[in-house]
Amino acid sequence: MVTQVQKLTVPIVARPAPIDLVDTQVHVVNADNLDEFIQQLKDEKGDVAFVALSIDTYENLALNIAELRRYILQQKDIIVYYEEAVAPGDKNGQN
């Protein structure tokens, strides 16, 4: 009996389109510049609305974004590993 090794051919799907982030602005507002900021916002945007974050919450948001980045980069590394594993030939370019 002869054992034959067959390599499975797995199609590699296209990568997703790169992300297209939109511009965001963060304003630091405190008691000293609150009135000026509100007037400037009214002049530039019309309506005034606030979304407030404490310093701790802002730091947590930054940590969460860093964690998402780490996860995405690790997922990308795993995808590249499997793409290379199923690619025809070996690392020396031989089939």
Q: Is 27 helix (H, G, I), strand (E, B) or coil?
A: coil
What are the φ/ψ torsions at residue 47 (nearest 5 degrees)?
-75, 155
Asked if the structure places residue 46 within a domain, the reply is no
Whether pLDDT at 70 is above 90: yes
Average pLDDT in the 52-66 region? 94
Asked if the structure places residue 8 within a domain, the reply is no
Q: How many domains does the chain have?
A: 1
- Give every CB contact of residue 48 below 8 A, 6+ residues apart in sequence: 38, 41, 42
Distance from the Cα of residue 7 to its chain's centroid: 34
Q: Which domain holds residue 70?
A: 58-88
Average per-residue pLDDT in the chain? 87
Q: Which residue has the higher pLDDT, 93 or 46?
A: 46
Task: Please give the share of the chain, as a percent, with pLDDT higher than 90.
Answer: 53
25 vs 45: CA distance, rounded Å? 13
Predicted local distance difference test score (pLDDT) of residue 91: 55
